[in-house]
Amino acid sequence: MSITVKEIEFENFGKCVEISNGKVDVAITKEIGPRIIRVGLVGKENVMFNDINRENITEDELMEKHYGKGAKWTNYGGHRLWVSPESMPETYFPDDVAVDVKLLKNGALFTQQEQTMNGVACSYSVEMSEDGEITVTHFVKNISNSEKRLSPWSITVLNKGGLEIIPQNTLDTDLLPNRRIVAWPYTNLADPRLYLGEKYVTLQQDENVDASFKLGLDLHAGTAIYAYKDTVFVKKYEHKQDAEYDDFGVSFETYTNSQILEMETIGTVHYLKPNETATHIEKWSVFENVGTPDAKCEAEIDNFVKKYL
């Protein structure tokens, strides 16, 4: 099955690059971001959240002092590349100008305007195999004059109403612990959207719950699933057990509020010399959803997961 790469107009995001094998399609912005603003089965639901009305904006005095008068960051939705650890205002680079696009054989490379004030340059390539698997390769380059400690931070903002499934670690470490589960100050571990089971963690996106919730895990399996309406989205990456990670040593983080659910992976910590680049790779797959399981029934979750992994 051949791959097509072409320019399209997508919703109110202007010109985008569409990559498709005829069954799966993705769209990536050219005029802002970049953002992978659509992922799904052709003709089916878009798994990605899109802020059509530009309601999610970050702006304050720190932003203007760092980036210039009127500076603001817009959470357009979709998939973006940030740099960990998070800080204000450095993390919130206003990515609202056109990006450089270089076509590849089965995809394209998208390069953001250089973050000269932060000393980094970010880009990612999006490529599709004939069977529809999507490879997103993230690059963060040190463009400063000194060493920088950082990690590529890959954030996928998903549509509301879906169920996230995260496998728990199964490594037998005898008398020692075998997993990290970390929480943020606003995280309520009694939140009914969360299920901490024997084999899985699940998180339900609920548009009727305003409270923010975030959790981090050292996810050995390097795999998480989001079941959204008629579509299943699978996100994979490599967790390196002996490597250094930010946020108390977790490589996977998830966040939700009333609008979105985020699946976030964090690359290992790099100590980059000037002109060196850190790389972080994810593999995505999209399938038809044959029936979302009960979020708190391990047997149903088990049967569901086996269909897609």
> Per the structure block, which two tokens stand in for 239?
């967790």
CA 9 to chain centre: 23
Average pLDDT across each block of 10 residues of the chain; the chain has 309 residues. List them in order: 94 97 98 98 97 91 95 96 96 97 97 98 98 98 98 98 98 96 98 97 97 98 98 98 96 98 98 98 97 97 94
Q: For 71-101, give the DSSP string.
A: --EE--BEEEEEEESP-TTTT-----S--EE
How confident is the model at residue 267, as a pLDDT? 98
Radius of gyration of the CA atoms of the chain, in A: 19
Contact predicate 17/27, CB 8 Å = yes
CATH assignment at residue 60: 2.70.98.10
* pLDDT score at 309: 85
Q: Classify strands 120-128 and 107-111 as parallel, antiparallel or unpaired.
A: antiparallel
Q: How many domains does the chain have?
A: 1
**What's the distance, Cα to Cα, between the start and end of the chain in Å?**
22
What residue type is 86 in one-letter code?
Answer: E
Strand pairing of 277-288 and 24-29? unpaired
Distance CA 256, CA 281 (A): 23
In our burial notation (b when 16+ CB lie closer than 10 A, e otherwise), range 65-92 reads: ebbeeebebbbbbbbbbbbbeeeebbeb
Question: What domain range includes position 10?
Answer: 4-308
The tokens describing 93, both together, are 């680079």
Determine the residue type at 156.
Answer: T
